[in-house]
């Protein structure tokens, strides 16, 4: 089976991970080839451990689907896939030129959403509303290929490696239930106020749990404020023992595997937590959750606009506290 993507940056790879896992679950005995035709795939580098046992081959920066001149030579010529045939080709992008190029690859079934599915061997029913979320769009393509509904994918355990061992070391002194808090985001306008995260950390500790506060490289200047406000909290990514792995998404994901639940803004950190399928409370204001909410088995979204406001600061503290308690009550089970 061949899956075509343009490229995968780290954020792309994290958001596409549920699709890759769902494909493996639906087709456990298949050979799955992931083809990035227009750039690098993080699945061949930084996030490779996350797709170990999920994808069989990752071909990145293949130069496929770029130029009309590709129509004049054999499909996949000049790549490691030249001359191969596939049972399924799933085209996850929607540029017609690229789709026409890909459709020449020898196949039994071709699925693509380009041109309103006009070039696809299977199409959704008339009136199909395209979902806002990229991963849901991809899962819909998989459902067309399989011909049946796809169950929500669950996380697979990370292979034991340096990130997992380091997570154990950094969290080794913690007692009780671990609760993750990710107060940062790509822009401060996407951040729920830090003082409210700190109040959630205080309440977490008062209930006998350990707050684990994950600060990214752009929030390092918050570390002293956090330590003074909640000295009993863990800041594993600022721990000197983390070393260079502090910047690796694999360490954040490994830490997330050990959490009972977590709270995050609309951020890369939230998607890293989702890769571990941690029960997740996601906070949204300026960005639409229908498009950007992390994909988890158990998640709650609080949106400022649904709570009488527009900005992140309009999300009430008590609403976050209550939603987090609800997630913790059930843990990773379904309530």
Q: How far apart are CA 200 and CA 321, in angstroms?
A: 7
Confirm whether 268 is domain-assigned: yes
Q: For residue 212, what pLDDT is reported? A: 97
Q: For residue 262, what pLDDT is reported? A: 98
pLDDT-derived band of residue 174, with 50, 70 and 90 as boundaries?
confident
- Given the DSSP bridges, would you call strands 2-5 and 33-36 parallel, antiparallel or unpaired? parallel
Which whole-number Å values give the CA distances from 258 to 97, 136, 185, in the listed order?
A: 45, 27, 22
For 109, the 3-state DSSP assignment is strand
Residue 6, by phi and psi: left (phi above 0), alpha (psi -120 to 50) or beta? alpha
Taking residues 53-63, report their average pLDDT.
95
pLDDT-derived band of residue 175, with 50, 70 and 90 as boundaries?
confident
Handedness of CA 251, 53, 21, 76 (dihedral sign): positive
In terms of Cα–Cα distance, which of 46, 51, 35, 94 is closest to 268?
Answer: 46
Which of 87, 120, 146 is the C-terminal boundary of a domain?
146
Whether residues 173 and 320 fall in one domain? yes
Contact 90, 144 (CB under 8 A): no
Q: Is the pLDDT of residue 276 over 80?
A: yes
Whether residues 283 and 192 fall in one domain? yes
Confirm whether 219 is domain-assigned: yes
Q: For residue 333, what pLDDT is reported? A: 57
Q: How far apart are CA 211 and CA 322, in angstroms?
A: 16
Residues with Cβ within 8 Å of residue 284, at least 6 apart in sequence: 265, 266, 292, 293, 301, 302, 303, 304
Q: For residue 159, what pLDDT is reported? A: 57
Taking residues 261-280, report their average pLDDT.
95
Count how many Cα atoms sit within 13 Å of the Cα of residue 220 in the half-sphere of its side chain. 8
In terms of Cα–Cα distance, which of 130, 141, 89 is closest to 110?
Answer: 89
Which whole-number Å values give the CA distances from 5 to 65, 219, 307, 325, in the listed order?
A: 10, 32, 37, 39
User: 205-217 burial, b for 16+ CB within 10 Å, e for fewer?
Assistant: beeebbbbbbbbe
Whether residues 210 and 313 fall in one domain? yes
Residues with Cβ within 8 Å of residue 166, at least 6 apart in sequence: 241, 242, 245, 251, 254
Whether residues 112 and 177 fall in one domain? no
Q: For 290-316, how does the pLDDT look when each residue is reduced to its tens digit (9 = 90+)?
A: 999 999 989 999 999 999 899 999 999
Confirm whether 155 is domain-assigned: no
Q: Is the pLDDT of residue 151 over 70?
A: yes
Whether residues 139 and 186 fall in one domain? no
In terms of Cα–Cα distance, which of 164, 137, 114, 161 is closest to 22?
Answer: 137
pLDDT-derived band of residue 335, with 50, 70 and 90 as boundaries?
low
Q: For residue 20, what pLDDT is reported? A: 95
Taking residues 229-253, report their average pLDDT.
94
Confirm whether 218 is domain-assigned: yes
Whether residues 171 and 300 fall in one domain? yes
Instruction: Please measure the distance between the N-terminal and C-terminal CA atoms of the chain and give it in whole angstroms.
Output: 36
Q: For 194-239, how does the pLDDT look when each residue is reduced to its tens digit (9 = 90+)?
A: 999 999 999 999 999 999 999 998 898 999 999 999 999 999 999 9
36 lies in which domain range? 2-146
Contact 280, 189 (CB under 8 A): no
Q: For 93-138, how does the pLDDT look when each residue is reduced to its tens digit (9 = 90+)?
A: 999 999 999 999 999 999 999 999 999 999 999 999 999 999 999 9
Return the structure tokens found at 71: 């129509």
Whether residues 169 and 134 fall in one domain? no
Q: Is the pLDDT of residue 157 over 90?
A: no
SS (H, E, C) 132-177: CCHHHHHHHHHHHHHCCCCCCCCCCCCCCCHHHHHHHHHCCCCCCC
Confirm whether 153 is domain-assigned: no
Taking residues 140-150, report their average pLDDT.
94
How many folded domains does the chain comprise? 2
Handedness of CA 24, 26, 29, 34 (dihedral sign): negative
Q: For 24-46, how does the pLDDT look when each residue is reduced to its tens digit (9 = 90+)?
A: 999 999 999 999 999 999 999 99
Return the structure tokens found at 147: 């011909």
Which of 101, 119, 146 is the C-terminal boundary of a domain?
146
Tell me the average pLDDT of the chain.
93
Q: For residue 180, what pLDDT is reported? A: 98
| High-pLDDT (> 90) share of the chain, % | 88
Q: Is the pLDDT of residue 334 over 90?
A: no
Residue where the block lists tokens 């209930």? 207
């Amino acid at each position: 089976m061949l899956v075509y993507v343009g490229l995968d940056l780290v954020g792309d790879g994290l958001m596409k991970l549920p699709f890759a896992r769902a494909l493996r679950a639906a087709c456990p005995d298949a050979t799955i080839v992931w083809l990035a035709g227009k750039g690098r795939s993080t699945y061949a580098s930084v996030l490779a451990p996350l797709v170990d046992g999920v994808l069989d081959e990752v071909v990145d920066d293949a130069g496929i689907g770029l130029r009309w001149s590709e129509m004049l030579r054999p499909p996949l010529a000049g790549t490691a896939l030249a001359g191969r045939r596939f049972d399924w080709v799933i085209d996850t992008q929607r540029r017609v030129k690229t789709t026409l190029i890909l459709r020449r690859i020898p196949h039994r079934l071709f699925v693509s959403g380009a041109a309103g599915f006009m070039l696809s061997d299977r199409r959704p029913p008339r009136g199909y509303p395209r979902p806002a979320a990229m991963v849901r769009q991809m899962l819909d393509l998989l459902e067309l290929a399989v011909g049946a509904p796809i169950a929500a994918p669950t996380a697979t355990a990370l292979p034991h490696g340096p990130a997992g061992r380091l997570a154990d070391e950094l969290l080794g002194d913690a007692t009780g239930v671990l609760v993750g808090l990710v107060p940062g985001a790509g822009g401060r306008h996407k951040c729920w106020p830090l003082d409210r995260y700190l109040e959630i950390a205080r309440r977490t500790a008062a209930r006998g749990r350990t707050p684990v506060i994950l600060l990214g490289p752009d929030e390092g200047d918050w570390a002293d404020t956090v330590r003074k406000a909640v000295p009993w909290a863990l800041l594993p990514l600022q721990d000197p023992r983390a070393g260079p792995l502090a910047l690796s998404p694999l360490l954040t994901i490994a830490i997330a595997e050990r959490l009972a639940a977590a709270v995050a803004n609309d951020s890369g950190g939230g998607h890293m937590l989702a890769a571990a399928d941690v029960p997740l409370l996601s906070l949204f204001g300026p960005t639409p959750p229908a498009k950007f909410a992390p994909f988890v088995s158990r998640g709650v979204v609080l949106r400022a606009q649904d709570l009488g406001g527009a900005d992140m600061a309009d999300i009430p503290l008590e609403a976050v506290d209550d939603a987090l308690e609800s997630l913790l009550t059930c843990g990773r089970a379904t309530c």
